[in-house]
């Protein structure tokens, strides 16, 4: 048995749920989280991202100085991003199929921030309602 933890963009929540159902996942848990991944250190890439965000109408947030500070704090690592965390229990043989489905649903052309997938071993699982344990408890 494996536990698959997936961190994705909030806007990719629906696509991720659909991909999991299409991949045959029996059940999963999703919660809102905040965090951040690898920092972008390339000043050129930071300026490009900042320009894109400003062009997307971010000026509605307040005056230009406040908007610039907000965008910069997202890009320089001093602010956390809202994300969705999915937790899935799966049979070992199903993990590659599930990881592939999640990856296809969440890959973007942005080059950063597409999420992360962690696969960890599970020693045991118990279904509370029936008392089933092990592999029988997760499907």
The DSSP letter of residue 62 is S
**pLDDT above 70: residue 123:** yes
Share of the chain above pLDDT 90, in %: 56
**Pairing between β-strand 29-35 and β-strand 81-90 as defined by DSSP bridges:** antiparallel
Place of tokens 């890439």: 45
pLDDT of residue 64: 62
3-state secondary structure of 29: strand
Q: Mean pLDDT score of the chain, rounded to an integer?
A: 86
Residue 95 has pLDDT above 90, yes or no: yes
What's residue 37's pLDDT?
78
Least confident of 5-9, 70-74, 105-109: 70-74
36 confidence band (pLDDT: 50, 70, 90): confident
- The stretch 35-57 carries a mean pLDDT of 75
What single-letter DSSP state applies at residue 8? E
Contact 4, 95 (CB under 8 A): yes
Residue ranges, CATH 3.30.70.120, the chain: 13-36+82-139
Helix H or strand E segment including 4: strand 2-9
- Overall fold of domain 13-36+82-139: Alpha-Beta Plaits (3.30.70)
Examine the pLDDT at 60 and tell me if it is beyond 70: no
Q: Sorting pLDDT into bands at 50, 70 and 90, what band is 49?
A: confident
Q: Of the ranges 1-15, 87-101, 102-116, which one carries the lowest mean pLDDT score?
A: 102-116
What pLDDT score does 39 carry?
74
DSSP 3-state of 89: strand
């Amino acid at each position: 048995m494996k536990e698959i933890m997936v961190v994705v963009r909030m806007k990719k929540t629906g696509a991720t749920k659909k991909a999991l159902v299409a991949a045959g996942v029996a059940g999963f848990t999703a919660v809102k989280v905040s965090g951040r991944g690898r920092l972008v250190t390339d000043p050129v890439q930071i300026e490009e991202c900042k320009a894109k965000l400003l062009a997307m109408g971010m000026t509605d947030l307040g005056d230009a100085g406040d908007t610039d500070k907000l965008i910069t704090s997202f890009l320089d690592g001093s602010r956390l991003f809202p994300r969705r965390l999915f937790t899935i229990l799966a049979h070992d043989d199903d993990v590659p199929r599930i990881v592939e489905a999640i990856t296809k649903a969440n890959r973007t052309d942005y080059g950063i921030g597409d999420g992360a997938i962690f696969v960890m071993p599970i020693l045991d699982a118990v279904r509370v309602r029936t008392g089933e344990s092990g592999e029988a408890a997760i499907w």
